[in-house]
Amino acid sequence: LDSLLSGLAPSHSLPLLTLNLVLAILASTLVAKFTSTNMTRYRKGVNGSMEELSSKNFALEESDARFEDAMKLSQDAILIIDTNSDILVFNPAAEALYGVTADQVIPPNLRSAHWTGFRNYLRTGEVNVIGKTLRVQSIHADGTEFTAELSVEEIQWGKGRQFIAYIRDLTENLRLEAEIEV
């Protein structure tokens, strides 16, 4: 303190020092208030963003759960594949109908023709199956054939094209139709 006051006249030193201290305290208080206000706004923004993200995550989890339940409860076989021919969904009804897992669903003797037709569609857009409901012959794992109704649609989920197929075993319906005719 003596070194600060050494160059000042005794009558001016105390009021000047007091004024400097008051100004320094005032400036520090203003900086602290500004920083506190900005930090509070930032924290509220981060908390709001976290709450929004948490809410969106919860909604996504609910949507996924509903999708999973719908796939499990469907009586129709449902398959979803992407443009790489990867099977993304092969629901329990599909496993029960065919008696195989997703990687076994297309019999080896039909795989080449299936993937050739699929790649041709991706390349040319020429439609043979997509957007139509067809009666087709299909094969159970034990080798027995059955008549099925097949509907395939192209869907846009996320960034990529995917294809969803609904397959319904018509064996019982055809039997009942034949019985009614008789």
Q: For residue range 7-55, list pLDDT tens digits in order.
A: 555 555 677 777 777 888 888 888 888 888 878 777 777 777 778 888 8
Distance, C-alpha 171 to centroid of its chain = 36
CA distance 75 to 80: 16
pTM exceeds 0.75: no
Q: Is 77 left (phi over 0), alpha (psi -120 to 50) or beta?
A: beta
pLDDT, one tens digit per residue, over 86-142 is 889 999 999 999 998 888 887 777 778 888 888 888 888 887 788 889 998 888 888
